């Protein structure tokens, strides 16, 4: 069995072909994203020989500097990630040949992307090659950069060359701004040129939800309201808002995590089987799933959504400040750093099944998972065994940091009496596959290079997500209500427990 898996993994690795030649233009080349995620992912792609010999990067930013300065800065930051510091990218040491290959292909261009000059310079410098423009900049610049790229003729597809634009989140702040941005960019680019990133989709375990459901015969027949009691989706973090107070004060946990990352997980779990794995077939089913989310009334928002904000406490043995004492945060801020929701999908497969979603910062543990709780057996045959001991079946999809799947079921306790105990069956990725250090962006960057949009959001995916949270944002704006404090390092506000408990359900402990 292990042998078989190893062979098929090798076969797959061998079948990934090097991407076509391309120049990657990064706006925001001196920013955090470039340093923390883009460079490590390009380095990993270079290490697996998936980049073409003619691949190159042009980093654009305002600070003065030369190619050599840019290469030096990126080399220093890559070195700072080793030995293993436990970040997104963590390796024992930097592979000199992969980094050497990549670093000599890094170029730098000084330019202010709010002005036309740099776009004219780029137009002169870029010939007829394939180009990806990566907007690693704050979202207020997205529309303007795409306008200027268009005006300079840089987005024109001709002579077989491709021109693609990668847009980071946040894509809008509410449904109105997301629609306006989609309208603006779709007047300048075709949908097949736009790659709206949600980095959760780069995570292997998130993609594996589709494989689990649609490449096995045993799970999908159970994947309906007839057999599933409720579903929990958790994205718990131990980090606080770090240096992002300014961004977080106008964003909060709901906007930051729910219409994008959490709904992507929800869509993977609830979508109908697509007709094929072609990008548009998958994206259409995901859009339909999110579109089925029940629109909450103001009353339902009050009953089904709980907000929290971290107070000072201890996380992983360290004392940490409360949210209101973080840099760039108002001392009386009511912005939520935690949100829990009880949601329903109004469709044939899921009607009546509650989906409990929770996400928060400064919690006890970093853990992203989906827990599918199945309905209990129809009759109690084992009358002497307490119901609570029997427990219902559950399947846990561990997304991070553990990567795997667990199934809980009941088994007979060895001995002469019929005693039943809950047991757990575990599959761990690491036991079967050779897991290479990865940021999750490798897959996404490779897909942009090869023109595969399956893991990127189409305009309707984004707008459906914002539509579903719109009643909550509107209710909070008109009736701010209570933001419950919770101690950093705990499970989140106690009030969130009542969301499932009122209905006989409960959150799994972090």
Task: Tell me which residues are annotated as active site.
Answer: 261
- By rule CB under 6 A, what count of residues binds ligand BG6? 4
Closest Cα to residue 310, out of 507, 496, 490, 510?
490
Q: How far is the CB of 371 from ligand BG6 (least distance, A)?
A: 17
Q: Which token pair is 141?
A: 């610049």
Q: Is 460 in the site for ligand BG6 (CB under 6 A)?
A: no
28/65 with CB nearer ligand BG6:
28
| Tokens encoding 263 | 């709904």
**483-502 footprint of ligand BG6 as x/- string (CB under 6 A):** --------------------
285 binds ligand BG6 (CB under 6 A): no
Residue 232 or 237: which CB sits closer to ligand BG6?
237
Tokens of 360: 């928060």
Chosen residue from 256, 285, 460, 463 binding ligand BG6 by CB under 6 A: 256
User: How many CA atoms are closer than 13 Å to the CA of 144, on its beta-carbon side?
Assistant: 12
Which residue, 255 or 286, is less far from ligand BG6 as judged by CB?
255
Task: Give the DSSP H or E segment for 208.
Answer: helix 204-214
Q: How far apart are CA 81 and CA 98, in angstroms?
A: 15
- For residue 256, the minimal CB distance to ligand BG6 (Å) is 5
CA-wise closest residue to 338 among 478, 487, 466, 170: 487
DSSP secondary structure, 465-506, as one string:
HHHHHHHHHHHHHH----EEEEETTBSS-GGGGHHHHTTT--
Task: Give the helix, strand, coil percentages of the chain, each rounded to 5.
Answer: 40, 20, 40
- Decide if residue 237 touches ligand BG6 (CB under 6 A): yes
Least spacing, CB of residue 196 vs ligand BG6, in Å: 13
Give the span between the Cα atoms of 57 and 55, in whole angstroms.
7
Closest approach of ligand BG6 to the CB of residue 489, in Å: 17
In the numeric block, the tokens 């998972």 are attached to 369
Q: State which residue has the least CB distance to ligand BG6.
A: 256
Q: How far is CA 10 from CA 16, 407, 411, 456, in A?
A: 10, 28, 37, 26
The residue to which tokens 């840089």 are assigned: 154
CA triple 464-470-474, angle to 5 deg: 170
Site membership for ligand BG6, residue 168 (CB under 6 A): no
Residues that bind ligand BG6 (CB under 6 A): 169, 237, 256, 368
């Amino acid at each position: 069995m292990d042998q078989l898996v190893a062979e098929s993994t090798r076969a797959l690795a061998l079948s990934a072909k090097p991407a076509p030649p391309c120049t990657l233009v990064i706006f925001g080349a001196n920013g955090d994203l470039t340093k923390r995620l883009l460079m490590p992912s390009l380095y990993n792609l270079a290490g697996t020989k998936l980049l073409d010999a003619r691949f190159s990067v042009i980093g654009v930013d305002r600070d003065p500097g030369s190619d050599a300065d840019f290469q030096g800065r990126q080399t220093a930051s890559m070195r700072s990630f080793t030995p293993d510091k436990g970040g997104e990218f963590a390796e024992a040491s930097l592979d000199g040949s992969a980094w050497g290959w990549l670093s000599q292909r890094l170029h730098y261009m000084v330019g202010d992307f709010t002005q036309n000059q740099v776009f004219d310079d780029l137009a002169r410098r870029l010939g007829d090659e394939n180009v990806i423009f990566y907007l690693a900049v704050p979202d207020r610049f997205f529309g303007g950069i795409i306008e200027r790229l268009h005006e300079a003729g840089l987005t024109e597809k001709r002579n077989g060359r491709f021109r693609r634009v990668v847009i980071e989140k946040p894509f809008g702040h509410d449904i109105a701004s997301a629609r306006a941005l989609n309208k603006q960019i779709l007047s300048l680019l075709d949908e097949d040129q736009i790659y709206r990133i949600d980095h959760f989709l780069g995570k292997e375990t998130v993609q594996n939800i589709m494989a689990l459901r649609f490449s096995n015969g045993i799970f999908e027949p159970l994947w309906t309201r007839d057999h599933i009691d409720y579903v929990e989706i958790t994205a718990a973090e131990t980090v606080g808002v770090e240096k992002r107070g300014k961004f977080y004060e106008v964003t909060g946990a709901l906007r930051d995590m729910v219409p994008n990352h959490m709904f992507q997980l929800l869509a993977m779990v609830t979508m109908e089987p697509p007709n094929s794995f072609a990008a548009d077939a998958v994206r259409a089913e995901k859009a339909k799933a999110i579109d089925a989310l029940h629109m909450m009334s103001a009353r339902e928002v009050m009953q089904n959504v709980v907000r929290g904000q971290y107070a000072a406490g201890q996380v992983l043995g360290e004392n940490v400040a409360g949210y209101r004492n973080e840099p760039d945060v108002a001392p009386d801020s009511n912005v939520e750093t935690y949100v829990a929701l009880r949601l329903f999908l109004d469709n044939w497969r899921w009607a009546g099944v509650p989906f409990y979603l929770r996400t928060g910062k400064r919690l006890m543990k970093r853990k992203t998972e989906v827990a599918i709780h199945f309905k209990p057996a129809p009759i109690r045959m084992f009358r002497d065994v307490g119901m609570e001991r029997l427990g219902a079946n559950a399947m846990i999809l561990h997304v991070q940091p553990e990567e795997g799947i667990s199934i809980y079921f009941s088994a007979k306790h060895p001995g002469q009496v019929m005693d039943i105990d809950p047991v757990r069956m575990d599959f761990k990725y690491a036991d079967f596959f050779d897991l290479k250090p990865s940021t999750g962006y490798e897959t996404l960057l490779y897909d942009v290079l090869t023109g595969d949009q399956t893991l990127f959001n189409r305009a309707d995916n984004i707008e459906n997500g914002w539509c579903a949270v719109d009643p909550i944002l509107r209710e909070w704006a008109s009736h701010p209500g209570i933001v419950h404090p919770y101690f950093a390092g705990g499970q989140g506000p106690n009030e969130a427990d009542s969301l499932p408990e009122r209905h006989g359900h409960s959150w799994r402990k972090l």
